[in-house]
């Protein structure tokens, strides 16, 4: 069946703000709202008439109707914790879907009705559940979501598109409203290779705001003997004031605070009049900022580069406007961060670049990006720790910051004589004990020969692809008995019913809300876009994904070529020819086979380089 080529957009779904972008004449551009807004607050309101509002209108209602407003929902993504709005319970992905649905309306306004595909960014340190929840939110909003991209990687793409001929190491420091990430990226003539990532998905501007809220509340407690944090409206008012203070102290050394009415006590108004200096604010957040520098140090060490080799520092996220951030980075890295990259737009623009690479809009740019697995992936084993045999040790199969796509196999053995079944537990994390890591799933390998004389060897293979989908296979070596679990697909099946329920719930919510005519005309110029009708056979999208994976592998081959010896160069040339052949194939199974063979050989070459 043929269909019209669908637009592919890039979305920054942020804790504080969100934006959607597209490639226009070879350059990424934000798609504005009908009112001309390029970035909208990630805030949702269910108003008194039952209508969902997203953006400035919702944010403006936070103090007046705090029980009807939800903000910073990104921090709850991947959890089962319900989010309440007007006493109705929603899942975090349902609230995120409302934000994404608002962005989709801008896309529909620009391109007309029809299917739209989205590349959505997430913090590099998001867990598997958080990534899946983000993908589900996009699908609930009506997008086709085939790719999730790490935010620092997206920012590097936005920068790299303008620096295609540069060879350098760049550090992307991404301090947003709710999360922090840092990535070390090597640029080599249009090839962007992420060398390492580190971060904390529970550290950001929201935490700075709440520290200020506590500071303000302590002043009121001391003066009036009452805790404003026990009053929902007072708490919302102080949160709003904290955001203003944070912004003002980015350009001023001190700021005055005048709040004539925070709450009532014995029918008398309780207010606050004081001032706070930048030094006071820095004193509150210094510990958290120091933690981000520790992450920078770890990422540089994992990337196996020296601090002196970092030529550029990119700042991403609104919280990087805090002057102390620049001071700490300059002191540690010995150079000033760049000032010409908009920290609020970089991620959305980079997501659009990834969308352009996927759709073919940027096929001639020569830009190639490789990414890494942010967490170690492995299994639970019986092993020895401190001289004592114990269960629940974490055996890493794919170490963190391994370039993806990647396939790794490790050999294990049955634990006792006559054992005929082995449970394979799948974890991600960095702790030596699995109970402190993150469980991704489990499955059984059965029909192992009942060997009472010796242990049976079991090969476990982890295959991690560009979309963050992990496939785990366990194979009994003696009889070739296999069992496989595709983590993403298995978990998606479990949540299918929940997804349908969420979809029905959102549709009912929007259908029952009062309709409102929009008179404003979009400021987005459709004449800038070049969207053609193309014949798109069923299954072609998967071939496009495989060809994009081929491009990634070609980038990795080009990256190791300069440091290779003559024998390795001949192997690389052979792999390059094999990949070029794969590009001409139409059968996905044949393409996948070549990709798998090339990935395995490439890993061997990279490991030779490390030795």
Token output for 49: 């008439």
pLDDT of residue 6: 84
If 0-12 CB within 10 Å is exposed, 13-18 middle and 19+ buried, where does residue 108 land?
middle
State the first-to-last Cα distance of the chain, in angstroms, to the nearest integer: 51
Q: Which residues are catalytic?
A: 12, 74, 151, 174
DSSP state of 561: G
pLDDT of residue 472: 93
For residue 362, CA distances in Å to 27, 69, 352, 356 come to: 9, 39, 10, 5
CA distance 333 to 329: 6
Asked: is 205-282 a CATH 3.90.640.10 domain? The reply is yes
pLDDT of residue 1: 31
Token output for 71: 């903000």
Token output for 253: 């050394």
Task: For the sheet with 482-486, list strands across it.
Answer: 406-413, 457-464, 470-476, 482-486
pLDDT of residue 489: 52
The CATH number corresponding to 377-491 among 2.60.34.10, 3.40.50.970, 2.40.160.20, 3.40.250.10 equals 2.60.34.10
pLDDT of residue 556: 75
Q: What are the 10-residue block averages of pLDDT along the chain, 611 residues in total?
A: 68 96 94 93 93 93 91 91 93 96 95 90 86 91 90 91 86 94 92 91 93 96 93 93 95 94 90 95 97 96 95 94 96 91 92 91 85 90 74 93 91 91 92 90 91 92 81 93 74 65 87 60 49 40 71 75 78 82 79 80 68 55
Provide the pairing of β-strand 116-122 with 143-150: parallel
pLDDT of residue 373: 86
Instruction: Give, to the nearest 10 degrees, the angle between helix 540-560 and helix 566-583.
Output: 170
For residue 298, CA distances in Å to 255, 305, 311, 458 come to: 36, 11, 17, 34
Neighbours of 473 (CB within 10 A): 19
If 0-12 CB within 10 Å is exposed, 13-18 middle and 19+ buried, where does residue 423 land?
exposed
CB 339 within 8 A of CB 355: no
Nearest CA among 51, 18, 35 for reference residue 138: 18
CB 201 within 8 A of CB 428: no
CA distance 611 to 557: 17
């Amino acid at each position: 069946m043929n269909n019209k080529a669908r637009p592919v957009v890039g979305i920054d779904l942020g804790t504080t703000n969100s934006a959607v972008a597209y490639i226009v004449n070879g350059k990424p551009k934000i798609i504005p709202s009908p009112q001309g807004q390029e970035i909208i607050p990630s805030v949702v309101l269910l108003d008194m008439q039952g209508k969902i509002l997203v953006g400035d209108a919702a944010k403006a209602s936070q103090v007046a109707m705090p029980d009807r407003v939800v903000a910073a929902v990104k921090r709850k993504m991947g959890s089962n914790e319900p989010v309440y709005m007007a006493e109705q319970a929603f899942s975090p992905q349902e609230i995120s879907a409302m934000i994404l649905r608002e962005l989709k309306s801008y896309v529909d306004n620009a391109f007309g009705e029809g299917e739209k595909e989205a590349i959505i960014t997430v913090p590099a340190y998001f867990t598997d559940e958080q990534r899946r929840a983000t993908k589900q939110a996009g699908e609930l909003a009506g997008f086709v979501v085939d790719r999730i991209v790490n935010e620092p990687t997206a920012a590097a793409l936005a920068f790299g598109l303008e620096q295609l001929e540069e060879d350098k190491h760049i550090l992307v420091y991404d301090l947003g409203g709710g999360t922090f990430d840092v990535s070390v990226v090597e640029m080599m003539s249009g090839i962007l290779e992420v060398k390492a990532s580190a971060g904390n998905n529970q550290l950001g501007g929201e935490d700075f705001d709440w520290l200020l809220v506590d500071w303000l509340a302590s002043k009121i407690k001391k003066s009036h003997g009452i805790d404003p944090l026990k009053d929902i409206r007072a708490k919302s008012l102080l949160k709003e004031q904290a955001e203003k203070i944070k912004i003002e102290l980015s350009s001023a050394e001190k700021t005055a605070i005048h709040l004539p009415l925070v709450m009532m006590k014995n029918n008398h108004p309780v207010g606050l009049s004081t001032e706070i200096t930048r030094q006071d604010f820095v004193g509150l957040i210094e510990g958290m900022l120091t933690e981000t520098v520790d992450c920078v140090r770890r990422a540089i060490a994992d990337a196996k580069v020296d601090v002196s080799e970092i030529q550029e520092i990119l700042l991403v996220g609104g919280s990087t406007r805090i002057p102390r951030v620049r001071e700490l980075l300059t002191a540690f890295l010995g150079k000033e961060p760049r000032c010409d990259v908009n920290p609020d737009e970089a991620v959305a623009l980079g997501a659009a670049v990834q969308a352009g690479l996927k759709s073919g809009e940027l096929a001639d740019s020569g830009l190639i990006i490789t990414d890494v697995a942010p967490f170690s992936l492995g299994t639970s084993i019986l092993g020895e720790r401190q001289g004592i045999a114990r269960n629940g040790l974490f055996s890493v199969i794919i170490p963190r910051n391994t370039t993806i796509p990647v396939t790794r196999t490790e050999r294990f053995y049955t634990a006792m004589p006559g054992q005929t079944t082995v449970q394979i537990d799948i974890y991600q994390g960095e702790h030596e004990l699995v109970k402190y890591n993150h469980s991704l799933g489990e499955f059984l390998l059965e029909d192992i020969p009942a060997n009472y004389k010796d242990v049976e060897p079991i090969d476990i293979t982890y295959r991690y692809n560009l979309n963050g989908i992990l496939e785990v296979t366990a194979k009994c070596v003696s009889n070739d008995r296999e069992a496989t679990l595709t983590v993403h697909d298995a978990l998606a099946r479990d949540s299918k019913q929940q997804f349908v329920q969420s979809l029905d719930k959102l549709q009912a919510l929007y259908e029952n809300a009062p309709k409102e005519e929009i008179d404003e005309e979009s400021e987005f110029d459709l004449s800038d876009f070049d969207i053609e009708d193309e014949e798109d056979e069923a299954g072609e999208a998967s071939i496009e994904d495989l060809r994009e994976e081929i491009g990634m592998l070609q980038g990795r081959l080009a990256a190791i070529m300069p440091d290779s010896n003559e024998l390795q160069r001949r192997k690389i040339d052979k792999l390059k020819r094999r990949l070029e052949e794969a590009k001409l194939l139409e059968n996905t199974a044949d393409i996948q086979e070549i990709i798998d063979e090339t990935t395995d050989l490439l890993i061997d070459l990279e490991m030779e380089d490390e030795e």
